[in-house]
Chain A
């Protein structure tokens, strides 16, 4: 364990132009003494954490650094963009409501730069989540505050695994995917295909889908789906589950307009029709 006495804003805010050399290395001192240069050997992943809450920045950065990532933190979207526009991080965790530039705008800009950069949103309102989902910003996952750190860490891990597969498709599969009719779930990389067409799912959506598909024909209540989708979180509303299911259906319908495998069981929940 190295020193964790990082400044409030762990990353010096660049005032335009190229970031100073060695900048990325400086921020990595959170974990294990002298950090390796940024992405020099693909060993250390850099996570950009943007949140206007100082305590959240501090604790989340601490936890992610313990897990072996480089973490750079920013108090608002504009400060983050100033730095990351020149060198994209490996993964971004964004709060939504922030002064200067909010998380949505920053996400849009990051997406314009990279299709594969994993982005996780931290939301603090149900209606905020609905709005963000409606915008189709292409984020890879959403966590509602107050989220569990374990939950966040698990998702970061999954997203990196998925990313490595996307960058290296030839990688060996260690485990056979779960198949159910035209659906195939790769439980290692959290990827779903329908009739061999890839369907982009967020980690939460994937976990819910997996819960449904594991027992085809069985009804899963919203409570159960919450538990499956957010194993460490207990603060998710039923409406959020409905929103996720709606999005799941739409994503599959985009791939196959005749898709109707997820059935709503009124008053109970949802089930997968085998």
Chain B
């Protein structure tokens, strides 16, 4: 049981937390604002009715004052009403004014000359099917509020000769009175307001002002219906917008999720990549970012795999040599031969060691380039120091010439990495130099970079090897004089990785002297 209920709550929570659902909920909440408007209309109606009542009271008081100030109260009342009617331009007046005698008989009536108010138009708004549906829905709200007594009907009151309702009675006792009665048309309420006519301290009669609330109600109904229409349209629009949003946001997101799921195979390995999207929105950005990420990751994985394959391949050669040499050691007896095979084994072991350190170096470069602090390094000063060291080592074997203007050439880099770059390229140049040859280093500037060229007088680079000189483990030394142990084929690969890590470039070429030239471009420090 508990399991089922937690599963249900989990499902429900998942459903509620879905973006599509949340968007729909927000949209619908917005839509419900007009409903709050409808509810607010209730108090608006009350206020309208209140001001109507005050207006009626005003009219009744004015009339009472006019009647009281006349010389002959009974007769002049009708004349006052007539004068008022004329003043108003002989138009029918929705307010009915009456003057009532102390016994309740009507002394004067504005309807005598303006006639009864025009027949009320049928309240079409209220009969509208939409309105009725809405009213039915909202009835519970109204029921909870309207606990007032039902109103008395106005027909009977209007048709009797003597008007002696509560409002008249209180007016005759000197208090103003007000009562609402259902209009004869049964669609609205008529408000009756009575005011005493005082002459001195005596109440000589009452004025009665009455008006149907029908016009107000009709306006209210129309507004309500309008709001209802807006509400329904809004609901439809909200649903459409939610669906659209769901398709433009949720669908691509689901697509991304499916892609993400398909990229990893069951063992969690990368098996593809995000396809990316042409969409210009944030989801398009996200999918492109993911696409770049997986592509980069893929490249990295590929790099690691091919690097591992290269390394294992590179180690197999010395291993094979060691294996065959040791097998031979077991089979030959002459000390001379044994020494030869032992030397071979030693050399191959040394080669494996230098391979290992080269591999270590090349795998560290990425981390070093990102973590090492970069400072302003003067390449010229750096090259002078490096060349001094090489001159000491090489003595007369190879001469090293440094051509550089007497000015600093500053770049932003780690000095150690730059030393690695120049030492490796120089080592390479020297190793290819014939005895007595010269390696020429030239430092200059071009439009945007500091250019270092290192040229040797060796045999140059065969055309077909040009694209491969920077490949890791690539070495081509047809007439090598040193054992292979000293050439791991990693030196120039390391150089390229560092130079490109600094946003520079290195290009190989063959020079006029028949040797090779490496041109290194580095961005100068700002």
The answer on a CB contact under 8 Å between B325 and A59 is yes
Mark A149-179 against chain B: 1 for CB-CB distance below 8 A, else 0: 1100000000000000000000000000000
The answer on a CB contact under 8 Å between B324 and A149 is yes
Answer yes or no: A34 CB below 8 A from chain B CBs. Answer: no
Interface-facing stretch out of B177-185, B311-319, B371-379: B311-319
Answer yes or no: B323 CB below 8 A from chain A CBs. Answer: yes
Answer yes or no: A77 CB below 8 A from chain B CBs. Answer: no
Residue of chain B at shortest CB distance from A128 = B313
Interface-facing stretch out of A50-58, A134-142, A209-217, A252-260: A50-58
A146: chain B residues within 8 A (beta carbon): 316, 319-324
The answer on a CB contact under 8 Å between A55 and B344 is yes
28 contacts between A and B (CB under 8 A): A1-B334, A54-B483, A55-B344, A55-B347, A55-B348, A56-B324, A59-B324, A62-B328, A63-B328, A76-B478, A100-B464, A122-B320, A124-B317, A125-B309, A125-B312, A125-B313, A125-B316, A127-B309, A144-B316, A145-B316, A145-B319, A146-B319, A146-B322, A146-B324, A147-B320, A147-B323, A148-B324, A149-B328
Answer yes or no: A60 CB below 8 A from chain B CBs. Answer: yes
Taken together as a complex, chains A and B put the C-alpha atoms of A149 and B327 apart, in Å, by 7
Taken together as a complex, chains A and B put the C-alpha atoms of A149 and B313 apart, in Å, by 19
Residue of chain A at shortest CB distance from B351 = A55
Mark B480-505 against chain A: 1 for CB-CB distance below 8 A, else 0: 00011000000000000000000000
Answer yes or no: A75 CB below 8 A from chain B CBs. Answer: yes
The answer on a CB contact under 8 Å between B316 and A97 is no
Question: Which residues 288-336 of B sit at the A interface, judged by CB distance below 8 A?
Answer: 309, 312-313, 316-325, 327-328, 331, 334
Partner of A4, one of B317, B325, B337, B464: B337
Answer yes or no: B394 CB below 8 A from chain A CBs. Answer: no
The answer on a CB contact under 8 Å between A56 and B313 is no
Taken together as a complex, chains A and B put the C-alpha atoms of A75 and B476 apart, in Å, by 11
Classify chain B's interface size: 20 to 34
Q: Which 9 A-B pairs have the closest CB atoms?
A: A55-B321, A146-B320, A59-B324, A145-B320, A146-B319, A124-B316, A145-B316, A149-B327, A146-B323
The answer on a CB contact under 8 Å between A53 and B327 is no
Chain B at the A interface: SS class:
helix
A147: chain B residues within 8 A (beta carbon): 320, 323-324
B318: chain A residues within 8 A (beta carbon): 55
Tell me the smallest distance from the CB of A102 to a CB of chain B, in Å: 12
Tell me the smallest distance from the CB of A61 to a CB of chain B, in Å: 10
Residue of chain B at shortest CB distance from A58 = B344
A56: chain B residues within 8 A (beta carbon): 317, 320-321, 324
Tell me the smallest distance from the CB of B309 to a CB of chain A, in Å: 6
Answer yes or no: A99 CB below 8 A from chain B CBs. Answer: yes
Partner of A55, one of B325, B331, B337: B325
Tell me the smallest distance from the CB of B334 to a CB of chain A, in Å: 7
Tell me the smallest distance from the CB of A71 to a CB of chain B, in Å: 13
Tell me the smallest distance from the CB of B472 to a CB of chain A, in Å: 13
Given A56-B324, A145-B320; 17 other pairs, CB 8 A cutoff: A1-B334, A55-B324, A56-B320, A58-B344, A59-B324, A59-B328, A62-B328, A63-B331, A124-B316, A124-B320, A125-B309, A128-B313, A144-B316, A146-B320, A146-B323, A146-B324, A149-B323
A60: chain B residues within 8 A (beta carbon): 324
B478: chain A residues within 8 A (beta carbon): 75-76, 99
Q: Which of B318, B465, B478 has the most CB of A within 10 A?
A: B478
Taken together as a complex, chains A and B put the C-alpha atoms of A59 and B324 apart, in Å, by 6
Tell me the smallest distance from the CB of B454 to a CB of chain A, in Å: 23
Residue of chain B at shortest CB distance from A96 = B313
Taken together as a complex, chains A and B put the C-alpha atoms of A221 and B438 apart, in Å, by 62
Answer yes or no: B341 CB below 8 A from chain A CBs. Answer: yes
